[in-house]
Structure 1
Amino acid sequence: MSAITTDMNEVRRLFDVPTYQLKNFPNASMFVTKMDGVWTPMTTEEFVALTNQISKGLVEIGVSIGERVALVSPNRVEWNVMDIAIQQVGAIVVPVYPNISEHDYAYIFNDAGIRHAFVSGADLAHKIQGVSSQIKSLKKIYTFDKLDEFPHYRDLIDLGADVPQNKITELKANVRNEDLATIIYTSGTTGNPKGVMLSHNNLLSNVLSCKYSIPADEHSRVLTFLPVCHVYERMLHYLYMYCGSAIYFAESMDTIGPNLVEVKPHVFTAVPRLLEKVFDRIMLKGEELTGFKRRIFFWSVSVAEKYDTGKLGFWYKIKLGIARKLVFSKWQEALGGEVKAIASGSAALQPRLAQIFLAAGVNVLEGYGLTETSPVISVNCLKKGIKIGTVGPLIDGVKVKIAEDGEILVKGPNVMMGYYNLPDKTAEAIDAQGWFHTGDIGMFVDDIFLKITDRKKEIFKTSGGKYIIPQAMENTFKESRFIEQIMVLGEGQKFPAALIVPAFPFVKEWASRKGIKIGDSPEEIAKNADVIARIQQEVDRINTGYGNWEKIKKFALLAKEFGIESGELTPTLKLKRKIILEKYKTVVDGFYEEHHHE
């Protein structure tokens, strides 16, 4: 433990991390951005100098200790610069998702009393300006892009030019390890967002405990594309900085494929949805093969499906070696060819997917945590062990207890200070003994590995009084290549039913292979009798794994994917069940009406 204690003396607040990097491994490419087709680095020295200049500007415009400052932007180096600069003057960073509704912007800005907002570009600046009449506290919006109608964030450099550096040193010295550093508003699946208050210590304890879970050091390249306003990617940014790794910004969600090949990252983080898409693309390529190549491809996949981290027999190892050489090496190349680990979080990963990737020699490490726990509670890792279908062993310093009803309770330095302005909600979440109630149901496997079985709030009963665990079922159904998204429903009804979004690219490919005409538009495909019948076959096949009361008796195909912008998903891609039920009320009512005539 001695390493952690000595580091803790140097790194006691989040803004100490870049300075620690400058002292221990000054990185020639701390942050790397693609500009005009060229990957352009910013060195640690440049980064630290810029944050100090911006901090001086913040002092000059009157940003005071404890003031809440908003950051609204997709991932880019300016976000990280502002994050550190705001904290250095003792102010509080309020990161906001770039794709939330106007109502949520107004709510968050008012709740936090935001005076200054820093946003990426014109669209967001106009969106926030559009609701500014509802936000009494808001004084000024700065942008990262150079625009005529809004002040540029670099204007702060000139403004603060006369502020002495020792003023910043003095402000930094005032900030303690246990002070509030950031308020992160979590968009729950219901109600207004709640502001989670995290201290420097909350996040730093997580950084230091996760240092041993992720194979990153000062020689590593990492690719970042998950939103850094989300606590998971943000904590990892601090961890990457702390390890001295070079952080590359993917250009966008759509360019991840080419960016992986260009950057050849050693580590990146993903959500299951992304890994599902990568896998679907690989399988579509496999379908296009013919003859021996096709046979060896699908043989390799079937070998991978039998992979078990615990026991690999002699013959199995030989077969796996052949599959890796002939097929899986190409999969690795598609990810850049140098990936040591992909950290997966924010939703449950299908066990079959974890199995196939691990067998292919791609270490997908599934972890678990919440914004309220800064975030990591447990993670599968090369050091402590990997068990497919679990979220891994607990990280150091964090305790978990399973309550009588199966709920996971957490205690540790990573547990939040509370919800901003919501003492009642805080008292509901953290009991008198200091245990945080996660709302997730789980258990331990082999006394080491934590396994999540469901969200406490999402489990429902049918009218027959039987429990249905929707999330676990949805993951199993999504293993079908015909099913892109699915929501299992039926609370208080006689039987479960489902809304299904077909995997349109695969369905089209299947139809052309079978010579079936199904139309081109998603609307036509979703209504096509052949498609419905084929998906019925999938549902029947998967239903065989369930008890009679759990089987999905009816389903409807939807022509439109659930999305964040359209309000059916949270920014971390969780289903907003209530909203989806309201949106498709007539379809859902239809599942249960006919039973009155039977």
Structure 2
Amino acid sequence: MDTQIKSPIEMLAHWVETRGDEVYLRQPIDGQCKDFSWRQVQAQVQQLAGALRHLGLVPGDKVALLSKNCAEWFICDLALMHGGYISVPIYPTANADTIGYVLEHSGAKAILVGKLDHWAEQEAAIGGDILRLALPYDTMPAQYQWQQLLNLGEPLIDAPLPTAEQTMTLIYTSGSTGKPKGAIQTFGSYGWTCQAVVRDLQTNTADRLLSYLPLAHITERVAIEGSSFYSASQVYFVESLDSFVTDIKRAHPTVFFSVPRLWSLFQQNIIDKIGMDKLNFLLKLPVIKSLIKRKIHKGLGLQDARLLGSGSAPIPPSLIHWYHSVGLDICEAWGMTENSAYSIINYPFDAAKIGTVGRPIEGSQVRRGADGELLVKSPGLMSAYYLQPEATAAAFDADGFFHTGDLCEIDADGCVSITGRVKDNFKTAKGKYVAPVPIERQLAQDAHVELICVIGSGLPHPVALVQLSAGATLQPREEVRASLKATLDSINPHLESHETVDAIIVVDEPWSIENDVLTPTLKIKRHVLEQRFSARVEGIRGGKVVWEDEI
């Protein structure tokens, strides 16, 4: 490999040598932490890689990994790197169709299955010709259990070190449209990006990280798992959704990344406890203000956090402003599966740049294409889409810049704002194009809104579909209606005539991964909502706010 970029396997050996008996991973089991030192992790990595050799798998074979986050996920990932296997992570929430497609497309020979909430529904997707290996949690039946694997064959001690060009992993995109594509990331692209995160965020052995966003997603794989390989930061895991608050308070992380949906839920919980008016009043009192802020930080388990981040979907600027007002600065970052998730970030946090995703990191270049599309180039870019040469060719321009599909503006300071998706823009019945994302951002400033999606392909005017926040669902309907109507009436006069929003529809059923409205990274599938609602909302006019059961 490039002498500047060591592989995670070399880093593991380095930490074993320099701090072998210090705790690296902390996995809660029945509320108690099971700790793994660097030396214990390496021993299990070598043993698992040896077991895979013993079972007849050869370097270059693809091995899938289907599990929620846990210490063993890291151990499996490192074992696959050490053995020269190509990892194929799959979202633990993926449905049988997706799992079947990824296994077949990637040609995986084996699958490691671990912590899963609905394995009975997923099992049918894993054919009998694929070897099943189980992590030590409640999971689907498998040919080999974890403890057996750790005693099978000889540990693999000496294996060739990975080269920079060697394929490390195939990461299948979460697919907000169409079938997922497998981005090929090499040891070079992954290692470069992880080192860039550590360089920029200056994480080190004093930091505590919490791994709970899906490891099958590139952001968690780089920002938490990957950075820990290069900084020796300690990593805590979450036992379950029910223990999330306890687990985060136990870890009291120094670096904490989340997604907009969770930041919004945290905010709602705080407002529900204190009340918006009371909170605003208390934050104006100089003596009380710092007490309240400390209480909020501690209540979230973030009293020691020196760095907070948000990514994977756009976060409303109003939400970042609100957190800033309570003393929590959220740095928004931008990345994709194809560029190892890290190219642009608002760090160090700059309140004047809220609403942008910040500046390109050192080593990453950005351009704005003729049609306003964001183009990026960095050593963290994928080498290709697996077995899809046409899609690969279409994804890069002649200078090697990647077509992100995001629309952007770049200001005089080089800060990038994402204004929508190239494919999100739709044509109304009047033949005019509408960019929904800027409209959604404005409507999302209403505190009653949890999620929002503006649709309008083939309709006379756009219509906004809204999922209410948990707090808003408990309020009287007319109160919520009045607020949403006031928000809509304040925005419509400033839109072009063909963009004005005809109605806000408050949906009945919460949007989720299970009902196919959200991707595993909690992005909204606009095309799914368009199919479900276009015909039903067609006749609603005049800036009305209606509930789905009133249509």
Describe the superposition over 1:181-217 as per-residue Cα deviations: whole angstroms up to 9, x where unpaired: 0001112222111111100111111111121332521
Whether the 8 Å CA contact 2:134–2:146 is kept in 1: the answer is yes
**What residue ranges of structure 2 are gaps of 5+ in the alignment?**
543-551
- Tell me how far apart the structure 2 counterparts of residues 191 and 505 of structure 1 sit (CA, whole Å): 34
Pairing 1:140–2:106 present: no
- Tell me how far apart the structure 2 counterparts of residues 364 and 255 of structure 1 sit (CA, whole Å): 24
Residue equivalent to 1:114: 108
Residue equivalent to 1:552: 501
Whether the 8 Å CA contact 1:225–1:253 is kept in 2: the answer is no
> What letter is aligned with 2:451?
Q
Whether the 8 Å CA contact 2:66–2:113 is kept in 1: the answer is yes
Whether the 8 Å CA contact 2:312–2:335 is kept in 1: the answer is yes
Return closer, same or farther for 1:253/1:11 CA change in 2, 3 Å cut-off.
farther
Shift of 1:66: 0.9
Describe the superposition over 1:3-25 as per-residue Cα deviations: whole angstroms up to 9, x where unpaired: xxxx9637532322322332344
- Tell me how far apart the structure 2 counterparts of residues 548 and 258 of structure 1 sit (CA, whole Å): 50
Whether the 8 Å CA contact 1:115–1:140 is kept in 2: the answer is no
Pairing 1:72–2:66 present: yes
Aligned partner (choices 454, 465, 482) of residue 488 of structure 1: 454
Whether the 8 Å CA contact 1:213–1:383 is kept in 2: the answer is no
Residue equivalent to 1:471: 437
Query: Any idea what SS the aligned residue of 2:375 has?
Result: strand
> What letter is aligned with 1:188?
G
> What letter is aligned with 1:564?
I
- Tell me how far apart the structure 2 counterparts of residues 95 and 148 of structure 1 sit (CA, whole Å): 17
What TM-score, normalized to structure 1? 0.84
Shift of 1:585: 4.1
Shift of 1:117: 0.6
Residue equivalent to 2:388: 422
Residue equivalent to 1:327: 292
Return closer, same or farther for 1:246/1:96 CA change in 2, 3 Å cut-off.
same
- Tell me how far apart the structure 2 counterparts of residues 260 and 146 of structure 1 sit (CA, whole Å): 23
- Tell me how far apart the structure 1 counterparts of residues 394 and 119 of structure 2 sit (CA, whole Å): 36
- Tell me how far apart the structure 2 counterparts of residues 398 and 329 of structure 1 sit (CA, whole Å): 37
Structure 1 range deviating more: 204-213 or 106-115:
204-213
Residue equivalent to 2:320: 354
Query: Any idea what SS the aligned residue of 2:359 has?
Result: coil
Pairing 1:299–2:281 present: yes
Structure 1 range deviating more: 341-350 or 17-26:
17-26
Describe the superposition over 1:265-287 as per-residue Cα deviations: whole angstroms up to 9, x where unpaired: 11111001111111111112222
More helix by share: 1
> What letter is aligned with 1:35?
I
- Tell me how far apart the structure 1 counterparts of residues 133 and 38 of structure 2 sit (CA, whole Å): 27
Pairing 1:191–2:178 present: yes
- Tell me how far apart the structure 2 counterparts of residues 285 and 123 of structure 1 sit (CA, whole Å): 30
Query: Any idea what SS the aligned residue of 2:65 has?
Result: strand
Shift of 1:73: 0.3
Pairing 1:16–2:10 present: yes
- Tell me how far apart the structure 2 counterparts of residues 265 and 385 of structure 1 sit (CA, whole Å): 23
Query: Any idea what SS the aligned residue of 2:39 has?
Result: helix
Aligned partner (choices 32, 36, 40) of residue 34 of structure 2: 40
What TM-score, normalized to structure 2? 0.91
> What letter is aligned with 2:469?
A
Pairing 1:588–2:537 present: yes
Structure 1 range deviating more: 184-193 or 210-219:
210-219
Pairing 1:341–2:330 present: no
Counting only pairs closer than 5 Å after superposition, residues 257-296 of structure 1 correspond to structure 2 as 257-287=245-275, 294=278
Pairing 1:543–2:492 present: yes
Residue equivalent to 1:315: none
Whether the 8 Å CA contact 1:102–1:127 is kept in 2: the answer is yes
Residue equivalent to 1:180: 167
- Tell me how far apart the structure 1 counterparts of residues 458 and 512 of structure 2 sit (CA, whole Å): 27
Shift of 1:550: 2.6
Whether the 8 Å CA contact 1:202–1:414 is kept in 2: the answer is yes
- Tell me how far apart the structure 2 counterparts of residues 463 and 213 of structure 1 sit (CA, whole Å): 48
- Tell me how far apart the structure 2 counterparts of residues 201 and 414 of structure 1 sit (CA, whole Å): 8
Larger Rg: 1 or 2?
A: 1
Residue equivalent to 1:309: none
- The root-mean-square deviation of aligned C-alpha atoms, in Å, is 2.7
- Tell me how far apart the structure 2 counterparts of residues 433 and 67 of structure 1 sit (CA, whole Å): 32
Return closer, same or farther for 1:25/1:542 CA change in 2, 3 Å cut-off.
farther
